[in-house]
Structure 1
Amino acid sequence: MTAQDDADRGGRPRRQTRAQREWRPGMTRPPRSVRVMFGSAVLSLEALLMFFFGLMAWGLHQNEWYAWWLFGGSLGVSVLLILTCALLKRPVGWWLGWILQFIILAGGLVEPYMYFVGVLFLACWWYAVVKGRQLDVEKMERWRAEERLATEQEPSPPENDHTHHEES
């Protein structure tokens, strides 16, 4: 970083994250969680599902007094699904994800076809949780083994060419 970079930001130094402050040369980061990536993908797709479900429910019931409540409620669930993606690194995120799965299933009370779609997404969520956990365990075991091998195989010091002259 140069003084010009600080000047470009009005004299303020660049802020660093905790991981950036704690990093030292030679350190490697642990691999990202497959479970979190799978879970985030499922929740994001479900957020789209709930948005379109809200549009459908509003369209089918637009002459009823509760049509806007259906649309607003499904948009609220959609936003909660996206926000839950940020919480998946903590146990509360997974609990909230399970609760939201059953709220999506409850959409079948409005439109019975939603039971079918909700069960399919519940199966996707279950697979993301179970298989993601299994893959994370395997991935961390491999990463730790690679770290052990890297520390065991320290490079030997290079030989000095001036000390070993062979006459031919």
Structure 2
Amino acid sequence: MSPREPRPRRARGAQESLGAVVLGFESIVVFLGGLVVYGLNALPAGIAPWWGIVGGVVLAVAMVAVSGLLRHRWAIIVGWVLQVILALGGILVPALAVVALIFGGMWAYATIKGAALDRQNARRAADPDLSNGE
């Protein structure tokens, strides 16, 4: 028997690659933010503090899941929704608003500039005679 040839990897664009990196690192920070919400007992009265951990874990897992699906247009939109949810966490712990601002800026750069790079690379691939990508 001949050895199986590996399947070629799917080409990933800049938007997908940059977005996956941002969401991957952000998921770690969001999980730790959930621990902060729990440790500070920042949830309103009547809600058990351990829900802070649950919220952090759910948001972190959602970010990891979306980072693997960024080849779809809807996943980019879900990524924006996750950024808004994190920003709303700033109501409970103001430091989360700072985290949301930093990672939201990185997400905006990854999605907007990544899409521009992908368009530029597609133009270059379609017409290799272009000099300097113009």
The question of 1:42 aligning with 2:22 is answered yes
* Structure 1, unpaired ranges of 5+: 6-13, 21-28, 149-168
Once residues 39 and 97 of structure 1 are traced to their aligned partners in structure 2, the CA distance between those partners, rounded to angstroms, is 9
Poorly superposed stretches of 4+, deviation over 2 Å: 14-17, 29-32, 143-146
Q: Give the structure with higher Rg (CA).
A: 1
How many residues in Structure 1 have an aligned counterpart in Structure 2? 127
What one-letter code is carried by the residue in structure 2 that aligns with 1:114? L
Residue by residue over 1:57-102, the C-alpha shift from the partner in whole angstroms, topping out at 9 and shown as x without a partner, is 211219x752111111110000000000121111110111011000
Once residues 80 and 32 of structure 1 are traced to their aligned partners in structure 2, the CA distance between those partners, rounded to angstroms, is 21
Residue by residue over 1:106-153, the C-alpha shift from the partner in whole angstroms, topping out at 9 and shown as x without a partner, is 11121012112211111111111110011111112222334x8xxxxx
Q: CA RMSD in A?
A: 2.6
Between the two structures, name the one with larger relative contact order (CA 8 Å, sep ≥ 6). 2
Once residues 108 and 74 of structure 1 are traced to their aligned partners in structure 2, the CA distance between those partners, rounded to angstroms, is 13
Percent identity over the alignment is 29
Give the direction of change, closer, same or farther, for the CA distance of 1:54–1:135 in structure 2 (3 Å limit). Answer: same
* Structure 2, unpaired ranges of 5+: 130-134
TM-score (norm 2): 0.82
TM-score (norm 1): 0.67
Once residues 71 and 2 of structure 2 are traced to their aligned partners in structure 1, the CA distance between those partners, rounded to angstroms, is 37
Displacement of 1:56 in angstroms is: 1.5
Once residues 107 and 54 of structure 1 are traced to their aligned partners in structure 2, the CA distance between those partners, rounded to angstroms, is 9
